[in-house]
Amino acid sequence: MAYKVCKYRLNANGTIPDFLHFGHDPMGMHGVYVVLDSSTASPRDNVMVGIVKDGGTGDFEEIVSKSNLQTYLTSVSGDWTDPDPTEENPDNTKAFDNAAHATTVWDALDACNATL
C-alpha cells in the first residue's frame, strides 16, 4: 500500500473524510487548492486536494503523478496568485506557480511514502 494524492469533497454531512492523512510525521496535506463546483450542493460543493492515508479508501479521485497534478492545477488556477510580500507592499502577489505547488504536494507525498 502507499499514500496517494487525491481530489476529494467533504462528506455529505459536512465532515472531513477519514481517509485523509492528518499526520505531522510525516507531514499530511489536505484541503488545499479549493475549487468551487456550483453544480453540486453544499457541503460537497468544493473540490480539494489532499493526501490519502496509507491504505485509505473512500470517495476520492487519485491523482497518479506530479505531472497530472500540475495539469490539474493549471486547469483550475485561473487568476490565482501566490504571496510575494515586499517591504513596501506586504500584500504584493505574483503569478501562481503551478509547477512549484505540484512539487510541494509531491514532496510531501514522497516523504509520507518514505516512512513505509
Domain tally for the chain?
A: 1
- First-to-final CA distance of the chain: 9
Distance CA 102, CA 64 (A): 12
pTM over 0.85: yes
Tally of residues, the chain? 116
Q: What is the pLDDT of residue 10?
A: 97
What pLDDT digit, counting tens, does each position of 16-60 carry?
999 999 877 777 888 999 999 999 999 999 999 999 999 999 999
Question: What mean pLDDT comes out for the span 53-69?
Answer: 96
User: Domain range spanning residue 49?
Assistant: 4-113
Q: What is the pLDDT of residue 24?
A: 73
Q: Which residue's C-alpha cell is 501566490?
A: 82
Distance CA 18, CA 54 (A): 12
Q: What is the pLDDT of residue 27?
A: 78
What pLDDT digit, counting tens, does each position of 70-113 carry?
999 999 999 999 999 999 999 999 999 999 999 999 999 999 99
